[in-house]
A and B are shown apart, each in its own frame.
Chain A
């Protein structure tokens, strides 16, 4: 029947179907561009809910800002935003529960324990957001991808990382003719000199995150490595590792007291604030808190670059903070929009955290950085982005390394040596633990 045949079109004219396709595409494309440019959510986001699970930040003012910032974004976009804060150590258990239930928050923060590689099959692929932000802000610092990349895809948005620099007492160093602790050797000399005068040093030899971070910084600066580039093989059995262990033993014997075996993450803060410590290797929150608790200590405490190892190498192992999003989350579009908006405002976040949050994006890491760029004592922190590394260095941050860290295997190797086990025996024990954990993950 002739009326069922498509109507002949004149060359150069536009059919109705083609018109709809082209105009529809153009409208959708321009809407997306406008939306991304204005950070204004499309109409379909309105009336939806976004649930965010985050930690209780060490700087409480940051949480106040974060909650307000999230609520304002929600109001602007017609999205009901709910933010829940829990201690960061409880996040893995909460994630396990939400995974099992297949329901929960849309966005979950991970602090230090980054679970992207464990859950990636159920996580939202955020490669587009990551790449878009990278292009917009001059790329990400080299370490950024390590905890969140799986099989070439990105399953998290790095928000910030927490540095653990040297915090040293300039008054005590100068009074004793000591040089600033720019190398681990100088730090050891200072500890050896100041301990008999009632000012020992301290680095946790215990089951806490500081111990995981600090001893890795030391061993990597000594040239030791944790895994190979693939992340599949542990590499701690090395000459450099033994050297680092011997150094740690000497540092403990000469410059510390046995209390370091009992320390938690806040103990070195108190140690500095008490006015006893000659130096500690910790986040700047330790320095900040002395401002109100012990002003003379605050005045005399200076922040130093990561000490160099014997070969001049500096590696600063930091605690990464990233946001992950469930694939089963009810609001993937709002999730992406919100995360992009949050990263757009990471400079404000850094200000609100009083310089505690270090940015992952190159443009944000340019000098002068907010807060720390204006504070002469903290300016040195701006030189850290190029030496930042995470667990597993130089390999990626894998679930097996995660388990090694959660079981505190590396601090236990250092603890054994400090307590008198021979370096070879401690390394042998540690290698056994690493291999056992790696073998289990390989089988899985």
Chain B
């Protein structure tokens, strides 16, 4: 501590000055706060780097491509402004793909919610072979996607469909070649439904597992208390379980939305977007134009059209989540 005054005081000041200077020149990262911040940022760095390298840079690069006439065979590209977006919008197929993507997302989400919730409740119960059932339900999610979709392609075959065979044996449809014999991948509405069906089959175990994790985190005491108070099952679900697991629901929903909107494999293997453009979705169209036909600029513009679809939904969901926190 410095003493203000002359004489002895000045001696004290002279003696303390170097020490004070020493403290003030000490690098900030040697301070406690500095050390704490440095350690914190160091821990964050891998995640930040990951996001920057694997999400940020590719996103910016696709934005750059979308604003240029880049093609796969040319290393030079020119700036074309919003030309690619405008041209995409003028395509009939693009508008069909946009509509199909939205229908795909909404219908798949509804089915996945219903089936995922039902399965999660089922798996909460105690029954014989529960562990085996739990293992079995995740199989669709863990199988290589091409293998599982190829199996579905066989099941949807116009001639040898096992689904049709069962329906026929059950007396629900006529035989092969009759009017009532469904051509799963050949009739526009059925084809889209067939693609959605495979997506739902693959993904609803994921929804169920997310929900199951949420359900098991709800304290049983709270549920027991509600039960004692006379709450029915649906009242408990609506007023207790759902609010408590809401953050988990939102995160699960976010993942599912992104996975569904960017899922190319199902349509690629089953229909290639056909018949006509009945099952064309934005990722498929972007792949066809950007990679197969080599128009990187146009393909990127089509792929980026997913952003305006996703962004508001993500924003609203995350804001809601923050408010609840």
B is a partner of A: yes
**Which one of B43-51, B238-246, B268-276 is at the A interface?**
B268-276
Is B22 positioned at the interface, with any CB of A under 8 Å from its CB? no
State the CA gap A444–B68 with chains docked (Å). Answer: 10
Complex partner residue of A274 from B90, B91, B93, B159, CB under 8 angstroms: B159
Binds A, one of B3-11, B207-215, B288-296: B288-296
Interface size class of B (residues with CB under 8 A): 35 or more
Partner of A95, one of B72, B191, B277: B72
B residues less than 8 Å from A444 (CB atoms): 69, 71, 74, 295
Say whether B291 contacts A262, CB under 8 Å: no
Name the contact of B275 in the complex, choosing from A270, A415, A433, A443 (C-beta under 8 A): A415
- Partner of B186 from A92, A93, A115, A261 at Cβ < 8 Å: A261
B73 interface contact, C-beta 8 A: yes
Residues of chain B within 8 A (CB-CB) of A255 are none
Point out the residue from A118, A208, A270 that lies within 8 Å of B159, measured CB to CB: A270
Interface size class of A (residues with CB under 8 A): 35 or more
- Confirm or deny: A302 has a beta carbon within 8 angstroms of a beta carbon on chain B: no
Q: Which residues of A contact B289 (CB under 8 A)?
A: 403, 407
A308 to B92, CA, bound (A): 34
Within 8 A of B (CB), among A189-243: 198, 200, 205-208
Which residues, 391 to 444 on A, are CB-close (under 8 Å) to B? 399, 402-403, 406-408, 412, 415-416, 419, 429, 432-433, 436, 440, 443-444
B187 at the interface (CB under 8 A from A): yes
A264 to B272, CA, bound (A): 9
Contact of B158 among A100, A267, A432 (CB under 8 A): A267
The answer to whether B294 and A399 touch across the interface, beta carbons within 8 angstroms, is yes
Choose the segment among B101-109, B131-139, B177-185, B226-234 that binds chain A (4+ C-beta atoms closer than 8 Å).
Answer: B177-185
The verdict on A92 contacting B271 (CB below 8 Å), with A261-B187, A262-B158, A274-B159 known, is no
Q: Is A247 an interface residue (CB 8 A)?
A: no
Residues of A within 8 A of B273 (CB): 207, 408
**Is the beta-carbon distance between B160 and A270 smaller than 8 angstroms?**
yes
Q: Report the bound CA distance from A387 to B128 in whole Å.
A: 68
B14 lies within 8 A of chain A by Cβ: no
Give the most central of A259, A262, A406, A416: most B CB within 10 Å: A262
Note all chain B residues with C-beta closer than 8 A to A440: 87, 295, 298
Binds B, one of A23-31, A119-127, A159-167, A293-301: A119-127
Query: Could you tell me the distance between the alpha carbons of A399 and B93 in the complex, rounded to whole angstroms?
Result: 19
Count A-B pairs with CB separation below 8 Å: 120
In angstroms, Cα B90 to Cα A433, docked, is 10
List chain A residues, Cβ under 8 A from B186: 206, 258-263
Q: Which residues of B contact A264 (CB under 8 A)?
A: 153
**A407/B184 in contact, CB under 8 A:** no
**A44: B residues at CB distance < 8 A:** none
Q: List 19 A-B contacts (CB under 8 A).
A: A92-B294, A93-B292, A115-B294, A119-B73, A121-B74, A207-B272, A259-B186, A260-B186, A262-B156, A262-B185, A262-B186, A262-B187, A267-B158, A270-B159, A274-B159, A402-B294, A415-B275, A436-B87, A444-B74
Name A's B-contacting residues (CB within 8 A).
Answer: 92-93, 95-96, 99-100, 113, 115, 118-122, 198, 200, 205-208, 257-264, 267, 270-271, 274, 276, 399, 402-403, 406-408, 412, 415-416, 419, 429, 432-433, 436, 440, 443-444
Other than the given A200-B177, A403-B294, A415-B276, 15 more pairs (CB < 8 A) read A96-B72, A96-B291, A206-B186, A206-B271, A261-B275, A267-B158, A271-B159, A399-B293, A403-B295, A406-B288, A406-B293, A440-B87, A440-B295, A444-B69, A444-B295
9 closest A-B pairs (Cβ-Cβ)?
A262-B186, A261-B186, A259-B158, A207-B274, A207-B272, A262-B185, A403-B293, A118-B73, A119-B73
